Amino acid sequence: MPDDFSLPPPELLRVELVDLGPVIDPPFSDAKSFRRHLPHVQTTPVEFEPMESNLADDGRRRAVEVALASEAVDRELTGKRCDVLGVGSAATGRDSEHPLVTMYNYTDGQVVEALVDLDAARVLEVSTADRQPPLAAAERSQALELLRGADGLVDPDIDLGTGMGLIVEEVDFRSPRYGHRLVDLRFGPRDRRLPIAFAVVDLTDQAVVTAGRIPQEMSS
């Protein structure tokens, strides 16, 4: 060990835990708060501007209109039950990007994506894929609407508005729901960390598969 080696001063070795949140309102009733173990820290609010997409709402609306008017998209979706899941963007070059309209064909279980040139008001490319995109906001709303009054979810302490879900897949190829778009949702009162109820909704058939309370030993 070199002769000039020395430990830093003690004050540099002391590390304080800083309470940076998160702020949970209302606080969870089924989880302990560790804030009392953390030192109080004086914080200063800062101003910021929310980051916005390069594509404004009007651009998204026009991209959907151009995509749905396209003959190439029409060939993929004619006679099918489909919905627009969202509009994003895709890079088409080093310094260029175009709106990407994502649609879902519930009849065949396929994603249909249309790359749109807004300036030329035309579709540049249409692609299809056998995959499950993330749950869209409109699909979540549709699933919650199907669950209104569903058996197993009528308890007053179950707040359907808290329902958050993920797309799941039926792995049994013999099941009539194999290949369907299924969403698994969990619910609870807003002041609980863990959900107290669940539901699985078949968005392909627009039907409730199952719903009920989560056993207490699993939700605590």
Can you list the alpha helix ranges (DSSP code H) found in the chain?
10-13, 57-69, 71-77, 137-146
* Average pLDDT over every residue of 27-39: 72
Which pLDDT score is estimated for 165?
Answer: 94
pLDDT band at 146 (very low <50, low <70, confident <90, very high): very high
* Average pLDDT over every residue of 23-32: 72
Q: CATH number, domain at 85?
A: 3.10.450
Residue 28 resides in a domain: no
pLDDT at 134 exceeding the cut of 60? yes
* Average pLDDT over every residue of 124-130: 95
pLDDT band at 217 (very low <50, low <70, confident <90, very high): low
Residues 141, 121 share a domain: no
Which pLDDT score is estimated for 8?
Answer: 64
> Of residues 34 and 76, which shows the higher confidence score?
76
Q: Of the residues 129, 163, 187, which one is the last residue of a structural domain?
A: 129
Q: For residue 41, which phi and psi values (nearest 5 degrees)?
A: -120, 130
> Of residues 168 and 52, which shows the higher confidence score?
168
Which pLDDT score is estimated for 172?
Answer: 95
Q: How many domains does the chain have?
A: 2
Residue 25 resides in a domain: no
Q: CB-based burial of residue 78 (10 Å sphere; 0-12 exposed, 13-18 middle, 19+ buried)?
A: exposed
pLDDT at 9 exceeding the cut of 70? no
Which pLDDT score is estimated for 54?
Answer: 66
What six digits make up the tokens of 177?
């729901």
Residue 65 resides in a domain: yes
What six digits make up the tokens of 84?
């627009």
Residue 44 resides in a domain: no
> Of residues 6 and 99, which shows the higher confidence score?
99
Q: Among 115, 112, 94, 95, which Cα is nearest to 103's? A: 112
Neighbours of 111 (CB within 10 A): 16
pLDDT at 44 exceeding the cut of 90? no
* Average pLDDT over every residue of 141-150: 92
Are the C-beta atoms of residues 105 and 73 closer than 8 Å to each other?
no
pLDDT at 19 exceeding the cut of 80? no
> Of residues 13 and 71, which shows the higher confidence score?
71
Q: Look over the chain and give the mean of its residue pLDDT values, rounded to a whole number.
A: 86
**Structural domain for 172, as ranges:** 137-218
